[in-house]
Amino acid sequence: MSRYPAIRGLLFDKDGTLLDYAASWPPINREAGLLAAKGDAALAAELLRVAGGDPVTGFALGDCLLAVGNTQELAEAWCDAGSPFVLADLIFALDALFQGSIARMVPVCPLDDLFTRLRGAGFTLGIASSDSIASVTATAAHFGIADTLAFMTGYDSGHGAKPAAGMALAFCAATGLEPAEIAMIGDSRHDMEMGRAAGAGLRIGVLTGAGTRETLEPVSDFCLDSIIELETTLSRN
């Protein structure tokens, strides 16, 4: 029995929350930089630095643009920093790269098992990501969780961008839940701030992304090592 009976919906971020950021994204970040630089290695390194990434490892630091921004925000920053792409073309190319990389992503745990248990426990489940809706739906299908989800949204779904409340409020509108009945689960301050802006009943940070305990604990109700601890947290704390 949950210690939080008012929580009926669980809204998850995707990258860094369902998918292990360090195991999945660094090489893709490097590829994105080279793509945006049209193969110019020096420019690619600068673009990664502009977005808060390490040009050698590809890892994104803290709550930087590369870790928490959406494709449009990233493309705008890179065009301003010297990418030779036209903005619309760069957005399209980056979205295509990210969607094409789904098979290389590493889940934090067997997502189909976890989501089946959570839905069986009576929770309504959703994903709110700064990735495109095409990538969100393809990710859900690839990892076998699409049928467990009542809601999916991306930065291009028309609900606004994190950290504004729009995505979380759209989850509520789509499912009939009140904001106080949902928990927002994510790896960044943007996720926690979106939950707060929407009036979410719980904000749960996880440490499988670019965020740290120091950045997440002040803005979350719980800070977990990963979503593997979610069931125990909801039932015992």
CA dist 132 and 129 (Å) reads: 7
Query: Could you tell me if residue 2 is inside a domain?
Result: no
What percentage of residues in the chain have a pLDDT greater than 70? 97
Q: Are residues 218 and 171 in the same domain?
A: yes
Q: Is the peptide bond before 218 cis (omega within 30 degrees of 0)?
A: no
Q: Are residues 131 and 86 in the same domain?
A: no
Query: Could you tell me if residue 31 is inside a domain?
Result: yes
| Residue among 154, 150, 106, 104 at smallest CA distance from 134 | 154
Beta strands in the chain (DSSP E): 9-12, 124-128, 149-153, 182-186, 202-206, 222-224
Q: Are residues 137 and 149 in the same domain?
A: yes
Q: Are residues 189 and 123 in the same domain?
A: yes
For residue 63, the model assigns a pLDDT of 81
Q: Are residues 192 and 156 in the same domain?
A: yes
For residue 181, the model assigns a pLDDT of 97
**Domain count along the chain:** 2
* pLDDT, mean of residues 137-163: 97
* pLDDT, mean of residues 105-118: 98
For residue 235, the model assigns a pLDDT of 86
Domain CATH code at residue 185 = 3.40.50.1000
Residue 205 phi, psi dihedral angles, 5° rounding:
-90, 150
Domain with 46, as residue range(s), is 24-103
* pLDDT, mean of residues 25-32: 96
Q: Are residues 98 and 112 in the same domain?
A: no
For residue 101, give both structure tokens: 């990389």
For residue 237, the model assigns a pLDDT of 45
Domain edge (last residue) among 68, 103, 138 = 103
pLDDT digits (tens, 9 = 90+) for 68-87: 899 999 999 999 999 999 99
For residue 152, the model assigns a pLDDT of 98
Q: Are residues 197 and 146 in the same domain?
A: yes
Q: Are residues 135 and 65 in the same domain?
A: no
Q: How many residues does the chain have?
A: 237
Over 50: is that where the pLDDT of 1 sits? no
* Residue 64: Cβ-neighbour burial (10 angstroms; 0-12, 13-18, 19+): middle
Over 50: is that where the pLDDT of 159 sits? yes
Domain edge (last residue) among 103, 135, 150 = 103
* pLDDT, mean of residues 30-50: 97
Q: Are residues 137 and 34 in the same domain?
A: no
pTM of the complete model: 0.94
What percentage of residues in the chain have a pLDDT greater than 90? 93
Query: Could you tell me if residue 153 is inside a domain?
Result: yes
